[in-house]
Chains A and B, each alone.
Chain A
Amino acid sequence: MNITDSSKTLFITFTRTLFLAVFLFVANEISPLGTSPLLLIGLGALGVVAATRLSELKLRFAAFTSLIAISLAALYLAKLIAIEIAVSFTSNALFIHSIFQHLTLAVLVFYVGFVSTWLFWRYHHTLTIEILFLSSIGIILLSGHREYHLDSPQIINSLAWHLGFEPQTMFITCGAFIFLILLLYAYFSSSHRTRNLGRTQENVARQKQHTLTTLLAFAAIVFFTVITGKAVYNSYNIQKGLTTNGVGEAEGSGTSPLGFHSALGSTNQPAALVRLEEDYSQNPFTPMLYMREAALSEFNGHELVVAPSNYDADVANINPGQTYSTAENVNLKNRVSVTHSVYLLADQKKAFAIDYPVTIRQLKNPDPKRFKNSYRAYSLAPTYKLNQLRFSSVGNPKWTNEVLQHYTRQNPDSRYRDLALDLSKDAAAPVEKIMTIVNFLNKNAIYTLTPNHEVDPDKDPVEPFLFGDMRGYCVHFAHATVYMLRALGIPARIATGYLTDLSQARDGHILLRMSDRHAWAEAYLEGEGWVPFDTQPEQVESHADTQVDSGLLEELMSSLDPGEEILPKENLEEENETYDVGELYVPSYNDILIIVLFALLLLVAIKAYIRYSWVFTRSPQTRALHSYRAVLYRLIDLGFGRTSAETRAEHRTRISSSLASDPLELQRIVEKLKYQNPTKIKLKNTEIDQLRSDSLNLLSELSFSKRFIAFCNPTSLFAHIRRQR
């Protein structure tokens, strides 16, 4: 492939404009610029193009700075004059201030593009500084990850979600993309500098070496991406699962999905959309809603883990694709049926539901591209009032001794018992005792996502929390609560799943994020079942973002609401601000493929036209020009293009010597037409056709495969364009 200097200039100009556009776009996302980003991008691009043109003039630095100073002074003067005129001739001159505010920003962007590009062309070291600057932006972006989730800028997350990428895939893709773009940019930018050095043998060799180095670097990045990607996947999938807030997914009996070291990785990544099909106004935890996924009640001497299937029968413990059904637990008081549908937005190993699910059934997935799975659950949800539970007894009289022992098995560390007894010494009723323990943790412990305790696999991981610095997250709080409750003989366990804020729901639709994953303590109250006794620490050192993406929620709601699909779009005509959030276009893989194929076909079609445009000519003069072009461009396709600083005559000589014949005989006629009076030149179409066919016959001696590849290579068109110029 012969990438010409002009293509490189075009590429560099385009890339610089692209960088500027991305920068402006991100800046606009962070803090709205107030001025149309398109206008700013346009002016920035103008600055880049103007500086590229200006660089050919070889202006000195002093002259360049004077030019900038003069232009700025002129603009300032123009502003003063405009203000004076506006004040004198209009009754409200504020508009001129407004216009100048926009213009100031636009001019600033223009000068950023202009000055940086001029420096780029003028000084070699600018490229190094630019690459360092861009790399640092890339590193800052990537270093902001939390367990391979890139949360900021939010668009990355949204794009990952739209494309159906896992967060870690997006992380790797972003990293590889940034570095590949930088590499390409560095390659083209630095190789371009050889253009002014002439095409000496040494330079050609240097450029070849340069290309080889770049290709090797390219391959190295791809190689390391694949290797790192694998490592990340393994670490992510095997060790952590869908872990966020330290809460992963339960695998089976004897395992624990909870992590004790760090709760980072808590992101706003959407996990599921829950739709309440019925009102649940008696929710005792309003505005919070607990959705249970697993229960950990077996104490393995080290931590709480999932118990064998004969315990915790109230938890469905099924995959989201399975059906579940159990008898309604008639022994429970204060319950109401709540039907709710769950539409999973991320892979989930276990189905979750509100409190006691009685039945879980598959639902037809309304949008398989968007939702991984969907099911409808019917639960018996609690309606008790928390203050009425004050004098409830704990445990279930129907439990066997074995079951009771299972739920009250204590941590052997006697300090849990001592502390629990000390805290609850003034409390009489069991629930009061529970509350004193919960309140103690609320008041004295600090919530943090990064407690960073040393977690020794052979030691109690909760001990450094409760008897140490008291810094921890839900996993620590839940364990500490359960250990202390069990020390008092109260049956307790840990539940995992999602905790969400209903006040952020709309139309009964709740958008669950990964950051909603939670672990909480539960105690068994007679007649009421397992009741959450969750801690709400007063001191919070760090916490996950609590804001729900309301735009996304509305968009997802729209995909479930039949009204959106059934009702005609014309109903929205005539209305203001009725933006259709559901219509955000994100190209699919197929779309991208079609666009790329279409672009390639278009380029090949243009090439075909250039090759055969002589067919449509009548006058011999025009036919000569088109025929010459057809031959010349075929040569360029085959890699025999004119190099920089090469005259047409030199080119012809070079080609003739390479091919041992002269395929550019037509050039003689074209030059005559160009430099003499065309009307005086006698030409016949047959003569031109003969010359063209002779030239093409020469080229047809080359192998078919080489000619075919040359025809299909769309990039050589850029060389054509350069020749056109």
Chain B
Amino acid sequence: MRKGFLFILSFLFMTGLAFATDGDLDNPFFGIEQDNNKSAQELVDEASILFKDERPLDARSKLLKALEKDPANYEAQMLLGGYYLFHVGHYRLSIKYIKQSKKLFEQRYGQPPYSDEKLKNDHARILYLLSESRLNLDNYQGALDTLDEYSKYYYGLWYPGSRAWVLMKLGRLDEAIRIARLGILTGAEPGRTLNILGILLSMKGERQNSLKVFNEAISYELALGSTGQPATPLNNSGEVYREIFLEDKAEGSWLKAVSMPDGCEHVLPSLNLVILFNEQLRFERAKWAMDNFESCIVQFPLRNGEEHRAFVHLARGRIALHTGHIDKALEHLEEAMERQQWFGKIGTDVEDLQVASHISMAQALRAKNEELRTKLDLSPLERVASIKQRVYNALRAWWLMRRATQILTDQLNNIEDLYVRNTDSMIEYFSFGEALKSIPSSILEQRIDAEESSDQRKNAKLYYEAYLIENDLGSKEDIQKLDKLINATREKADEALKLHLLLLKLSLLETKSDTYRKTALLAYELAPASIRNKGFKLPIILHNFSSSEESKIQGGNFTAVKNSPYDIELHRSSGKFTLKFSANTKGVHYEAAGDSIESAIDALSEKVFTE
């Protein structure tokens, strides 16, 4: 009897199984459509597991199905809110779900406090998600209100860090520092909280303290081993070092950051390295930093999209500009300006990138104009096209500089980036004076006075003075002022500033003067491309040139002098012109040939003024 019963049972079971299997085969959407037979809560539970398995799309589909079945399921709303917040970055939709979840939760269970552990956890999670969503939507006060509500009933390890961050965004630095310190004392997510505290202290001007805190954060993250994320505090400490003009230490921090497993995919240390190397005119190293980053990010195909593209193009464009590859620079900078940057993660405003790319693009356009102006081998038609191009470039450069200044004054708190080496900014400070030129002198003077009164960094003053001189450049007295500044620049660390000052000085000098010769040679040694980019002439000794050929070469980027380490020798053979450029001390040697003297000069310029 009992056996018979078991047999019938097993028969029924097998038949059911067979039908089920059969159903699976017949229904190719089995995976999705079998969800029809599940309750909303079952689907929610499955979705939770799928999230843990890193299968967010599967989870999303289940949650949407759950909501179809039971729109009042607060858990599904909550999980979807979290999904759109963290996985998709669709904050507007995320907050809709989270608020709905909160409303449904409170309708069902009343107002807090709750005694049930699950309810407590869910409510706390909803509040956490709500505060994060609001933070991402820049509703800082809303985020703070939510955190206040959260703190009435709960405490989580993430709380101090988040609250400190929100308070920082609201400009309540002292309060934020207090909260972060309390958080560290209670052991709340030490790595993250220490990092936030370091940023807060740096913003407060307590840079030494901030460095100490960052070091603690680095040690903590390193101690976590493979799960640690030391690149972020390393990057931040590098930024503070650069801010206090300890460039070697900054370089060390960033190099260490990019060597970390979580750092090579992090664009900021690489970008910071490029800015630093450009400031020191170490363009080879700058290029290496970008190459290194790009070769690393290739490992993360899904992140190889838009997230960092604008930064990479900006960095590459600048390197190309400073090394004389103007067309390449224009291409990169155009991309940097066009690409929409995703800033959710790295806390840099879109305006910072806009200002930086606008200024660099304007500089590149002006450099292009100088290149076109000094091109000799042009047909009449090409000359007309070149003039048209130059007019367009000049207008665009003017417009971009104007827009950059406008963004700086209107959207970036009265040029908050004037604070030299502001960590949020991506400006190249050595040539920032070009953007400030359009501001009336008296206003700029007043603004810089205000900045200097609060900025005690000795090295920063050099930059401020340079901006003031550049703003009102023109008199002979400015030459002495510039000389004074040039002498005050530090070797290696301020090389780009020194070069910029030399170029400003050149603009005040007669091309035939001896001071011009010395200054131009100095500038050329620092960065060969700078001479052509700014439309100056390189002093050279000419050999074997007729007077007409001499006047032609002087129409380009060269000026004939009697004393220069550089000389150019002209060879003519069977209708071909060959120019040999050499430096008597440095072993530099370039050779260019052409069917006409003009084409030979153009070809030589391309070699002499690029790196």
Quote the shortest CB–CB distance from B361 to chain A (angstroms). Answer: 11
Interface magnitude class on chain B: 35 or more
* The one of A87, A337, A575 that contacts B446, using a Cβ cutoff of 8 Å: A87
- Which chain A residues lie closer than 8 Å to B96 at the CB level? 563-564, 567, 571-572
- Which chain B residues lie closer than 8 Å to A92 at the CB level? 414, 446-447, 450
Contacts A92-B446, A562-B68, A577-B137; is A287 near B93 (CB within 8 Å)? no
- Which chain B residues lie closer than 8 Å to A277 at the CB level? 32, 57, 61
* The one of B138, B301, B402, B405 that contacts A286, using a Cβ cutoff of 8 Å: B301
Interface magnitude class on chain A: 35 or more
Asked whether any CB of chain A lies closer than 8 Å to the CB of B208, the reply is: no
Asked whether any CB of chain B lies closer than 8 Å to the CB of A421, the reply is: no
B302 touches A339 (CB 8 A): no
- Which chain A residues lie closer than 8 Å to B303 at the CB level? 503
A34 touches B68 (CB 8 A): no
A361 touches B29 (CB 8 A): yes
Quote the shortest CB–CB distance from A26 to chain B (angstroms). Answer: 15
Contacts A92-B414, A286-B302; is A97 near B32 (CB within 8 Å)? no
Asked whether any CB of chain B lies closer than 8 Å to the CB of A557, the reply is: yes
A84 touches B31 (CB 8 A): no
User: Bound complex: CA of A525 vs CA of B139, how far in Å?
Assistant: 55
Quote the shortest CB–CB distance from A318 to chain B (angstroms). Answer: 15
- Which chain B residues lie closer than 8 Å to A574 at the CB level? 139, 142
A567 touches B97 (CB 8 A): yes
Q: Mark A276-315, 1 if CB is under 8 A from B, else 0.
A: 1111110000110000000000000000000000000000
Asked whether any CB of chain A lies closer than 8 Å to the CB of B84, the reply is: yes
Contacts A501-B305, A502-B302, A504-B305; is A337 near B139 (CB within 8 Å)? no
* The one of A34, A337, A568 that contacts B410, using a Cβ cutoff of 8 Å: A34
* The one of B99, B305, B414, B440 that contacts A571, using a Cβ cutoff of 8 Å: B99
Quote the shortest CB–CB distance from B516 to chain A (angstroms). Answer: 34
Asked whether any CB of chain B lies closer than 8 Å to the CB of A702, the reply is: no
Q: Which residue of A lies closest to B396 (CB)?
A: A31
Quote the shortest CB–CB distance from B418 to chain A (angstroms). Answer: 10
B440 touches A83 (CB 8 A): yes
Contacts A87-B442, A325-B28, A337-B31; is A34 near B88 (CB within 8 Å)? no
Contacts A278-B57, A287-B302, A507-B84; is A572 near B29 (CB within 8 Å)? no
* The one of B95, B305, B402, B414 that contacts A287, using a Cβ cutoff of 8 Å: B305
Quote the shortest CB–CB distance from A464 to chain B (angstroms). Answer: 30
Asked whether any CB of chain A lies closer than 8 Å to the CB of B304, the reply is: yes
Quote the shortest CB–CB distance from A90 to chain B (angstroms). Answer: 9
Quote the shortest CB–CB distance from A611 to chain B (angstroms). Answer: 53
- Which chain B residues lie closer than 8 Å to A339 at the CB level? 29, 31-32
B92 touches A580 (CB 8 A): yes
User: Bound complex: CA of A92 vs CA of B139, how far in Å?
Assistant: 28
- Which chain B residues lie closer than 8 Å to A507 at the CB level? 57, 60, 84, 87-88, 90
Q: Mark B369-406, 1 if CB is under 8 A from A, else 0.
A: 00000000000000000000000000000010011011
Contacts A337-B31, A557-B90, A563-B97; is A279 near B58 (CB within 8 Å)? yes
Asked whether any CB of chain A lies closer than 8 Å to the CB of B517, the reply is: no
Asked whether any CB of chain A lies closer than 8 Å to the CB of B286, the reply is: no
Contacts A92-B447, A97-B443, A503-B302; is A558 near B28 (CB within 8 Å)? no
Quote the shortest CB–CB distance from B305 to chain A (angstroms). Answer: 3
A83 touches B443 (CB 8 A): yes
- Which chain A residues lie closer than 8 Å to B88 at the CB level? 506-507
Contacts A277-B57, A337-B31, A566-B71; is A34 near B403 (CB within 8 Å)? yes
- Which chain A residues lie closer than 8 Å to B519 at the CB level? none
- Which chain A residues lie closer than 8 Å to B306 at the CB level? 503-504
User: Bound complex: CA of A578 vs CA of B450, how far in Å?
Assistant: 36
Quote the shortest CB–CB distance from B164 to chain A (angstroms). Answer: 21
Pick from B80, B84, B301, B405 the residue with the most CB of A within 10 Å: B301
* The one of A34, A94, A359, A376 that contacts B415, using a Cβ cutoff of 8 Å: A94
- Which chain A residues lie closer than 8 Å to B446 at the CB level? 87, 91-93
B57 touches A276 (CB 8 A): yes
- Which chain B residues lie closer than 8 Å to A97 at the CB level? 409, 439-440, 443
Asked whether any CB of chain A lies closer than 8 Å to the CB of B64, the reply is: yes
Looking at chain B's contact residues, the main secondary structure is: helix
A378 touches B450 (CB 8 A): no
- Which chain B residues lie closer than 8 Å to A550 at the CB level? 340
User: Bound complex: CA of A577 vs CA of B302, how far in Å?
Assistant: 28
Asked whether any CB of chain A lies closer than 8 Å to the CB of B468, the reply is: no
User: Bound complex: CA of A276 vs CA of B95, how far in Å?
Assistant: 23
Pick from A91, A286, A328, A508 the residue with the most CB of B within 10 Å: A508
User: Bound complex: CA of A574 vs CA of B139, how far in Å?
Assistant: 8
User: Bound complex: CA of A35 vs CA of B375, how far in Å?
Assistant: 38
Asked whether any CB of chain B lies closer than 8 Å to the CB of A96, the reply is: yes
- Which chain B residues lie closer than 8 Å to A93 at the CB level? 442-443, 446-447
User: Bound complex: CA of A95 vs CA of B410, how far in Å?
Assistant: 8
Quote the shortest CB–CB distance from A213 to chain B (angstroms). Answer: 37
Q: Which residue of A lies closest to B87 (CB)?
A: A507
B302 touches A279 (CB 8 A): no
User: Bound complex: CA of A708 vs CA of B261, how far in Å?
Assistant: 84
Asked whether any CB of chain B lies closer than 8 Å to the CB of A671, the reply is: no
Quote the shortest CB–CB distance from B306 to chain A (angstroms). Answer: 7
Q: Mark A134-170, 1 if CB is under 8 A from B, else 0.
A: 0000000000000000000000000000000000000
Asked whether any CB of chain B lies closer than 8 Å to the CB of A98, the reply is: yes
Asked whether any CB of chain B lies closer than 8 Å to the CB of A437, the reply is: no
User: Bound complex: CA of A372 vs CA of B440, how far in Å?
Assistant: 58
- Which chain A residues lie closer than 8 Å to B92 at the CB level? 572, 575, 578-580
Asked whether any CB of chain A lies closer than 8 Å to the CB of B222, the reply is: no
Quote the shortest CB–CB distance from B245 to chain A (angstroms). Answer: 26
Interface residues of A in 560-614 (CB under 8 A from B): 561-564, 566-568, 571-572, 574-580
Asked whether any CB of chain B lies closer than 8 Å to the CB of A358, the reply is: yes
A563 touches B93 (CB 8 A): yes
User: Bound complex: CA of A278 vs CA of B62, how far in Å?
Assistant: 10
Asked whether any CB of chain A lies closer than 8 Å to the CB of B56, the reply is: yes
Asked whether any CB of chain B lies closer than 8 Å to the CB of A32, the reply is: yes
Quote the shortest CB–CB distance from A355 to chain B (angstroms). Answer: 14
A101 touches B402 (CB 8 A): yes
* A–B Cβ pairs within 8 angstroms, 28 of them: A31-B399, A34-B407, A34-B410, A91-B446, A92-B414, A92-B446, A93-B447, A94-B409, A95-B409, A95-B414, A97-B440, A98-B409, A98-B410, A278-B58, A279-B55, A286-B302, A339-B31, A358-B28, A378-B28, A503-B302, A506-B88, A507-B60, A547-B339, A562-B67, A571-B100, A576-B138, A577-B138, A579-B92
Excluding A508-B60, A575-B142, 9 further A-B contacts by CB distance (< 8 Å) are A84-B442, A91-B450, A94-B409, A287-B304, A501-B305, A507-B88, A571-B96, A575-B134, A578-B95
- Smallest CB-CB A-B distances: 8 pairs: A503-B305, A359-B28, A571-B99, A378-B28, A507-B88, A279-B55, A567-B96, A98-B409
